[in-house]
Amino acid sequence: MDFNFSKQDEKFRTEVRAFIDQNNPAGRPEDRSPKDIQAWNQKLAEKRWIGFSWPREDGGGGGSVIEQFILKEEMSKAHTPALGSDFMGLAWVGPALIRHGTAAQKDRFLPDLLNGRSVWCTGYSEPDIGSDLAGLQTKAVLDEGSGGSHYVVNGQKIWTTAAHVAKWIFMLVRTTSESESRYGGITCLLIPMDSPGIEVQPIKSLVGYHSFNQVFFNDVRVPVENRLGAEGEGWKVVMGALANERSGISESTGMERQLEDLKELARNSKKNGRPALEDPAVRRELGRYESMISAMRLNGLRNLTKQLQGSPPSTETSVNKFLRGQLEIPMADFSMSLLGTAAQETGPWQTNSLTFHGVVIGGGSPNIQRNIIAERILGLPKD
């Protein structure tokens, strides 16, 4: 057991800090222009820090998962813009391509992903299919007329974040009927969003933003070379992608930042007419959040140790995904209690206290994480 970062890792941390000092766009995060962010991403790409832990032969930086951890941690501490503009593409589409893609697919998709020229969205959920993803019904049928060179896709996806800006959708379809083969009937397709027959309709979230959509597929023709993995192996592809999504969601760095903001709010708040920080219940609650966030960070490092020993992220990512939900909503509600009647107004804290409800559901609800832990880790019978 050794929690010291190696000399090489520490050297890397110094390099990251120097880079941030030089290149982090000035001003508050919310005041940054798209141009600032583009320039920031350009500099990151030159360093090969976008896709940093991907293999160099795939255009990544060949960094270790520990270095990647350091990079994200330092960026979060310094409130820099995100690492690359295509969150979903980088967090799970790229890794899935690296693991399951053909050489031609990697050549075609990875450079654009790394350079921020493609934005991806993810098409799993359907109106009738949420938690029970394997029941999905959107169909893809090989078009015999075209000599089997195309699939024809029909159906509907929903809650598709960023579909209105995405160039590509990472999409699960059914190629064999559910009654014949539930898991084995699922296939993964990579579909250009400008394909004829795709229609995107916005859905307004309760926060009032437009972030997710419905996407309709009407006889959409997709070349077979856009299939990721073999026909019927989509479930395998998506299990890896979901573990990556959850491990991204489970990173503690965002939570650490939220806690710092929450402490600042507490310093400036009153409870029953006295400074909030004189209230032992307020102090204890902050101490509890801090302890649990440390547990998340350390759980993450334990998982990274396993990854260094060669096992890719898997069911253990559900632990931190679950914890994040256990923390995020209570922390947001705690901030509202510190605000007192100001909680009735609008503002960043108030918005947060609404936004987290969506974050906790996306990537699989807390109940689904409980099921995964109970069934796949503890071996309890499936319900």
Ligand X SMILES: Cc1cc2nc3c(=O)[nH]c(=O)nc-3n(C[C@H](O)[C@H](O)[C@H](O)COP(=O)(O)OP(=O)(O)OC[C@H]3O[C@@H](n4cnc5c(N)ncnc54)[C@H](O)[C@@H]3O)c2cc1C
CB 210 within 8 A of CB 202: yes
CB 126 within 8 A of CB 74: no
Q: Per-residue contact track with other proteins, 320 to 359, x per CB under 8 A?
A: --xx------------------------------------
Nearest distance in Å: CB 298, ligand X: 27
Strands (E), 73-183: 120-123, 139-142, 150-158, 168-174
Judged by CB under 6 A, does residue 358 bind ligand X? yes
Nearest to 214 by CA among 156, 138, 165, 134: 156
Residue from 204, 225, 302, 342 in contact with other proteins (CB under 8 A): 302
Question: In terms of CB distance, is 65 or 129 closer to ligand X?
Answer: 129
Judged by CB under 8 A, does residue 284 bind other proteins? yes
Which of the following is catalytic: 245, 251, 256, 285? 245
Nearest distance in Å: CB 163, other proteins: 32
Other beta carbons less than 10 A from residue 234's beta carbon: 29
Question: In terms of CB distance, is 190 or 293 closer to other proteins?
Answer: 293
Nearest distance in Å: CB 110, other proteins: 28
265-271, long-range: CB < 8 A, 24+ apart: 265/335, 265/338, 265/339, 265/349, 266/338, 269/338, 269/339, 269/340, 270/340, 271/338
CB 193 within 8 A of CB 132: no
Nearest distance in Å: CB 1, other proteins: 5
Q: What angle do CA 371, 377, 381 make, to 5 degrees?
A: 55
**Is 251 one of the catalytic residues?**
no
Q: Per-residue contact track with ligand X, 136 to 165, x per CB under 6 A?
A: -----------------------xxx----
Give residues in contact with ligand X (CB under 6 A). Answer: 121-125, 130-131, 159-161, 212, 358, 361-362, 364-365, 367-368, 371
Which residues are designated catalytic?
245
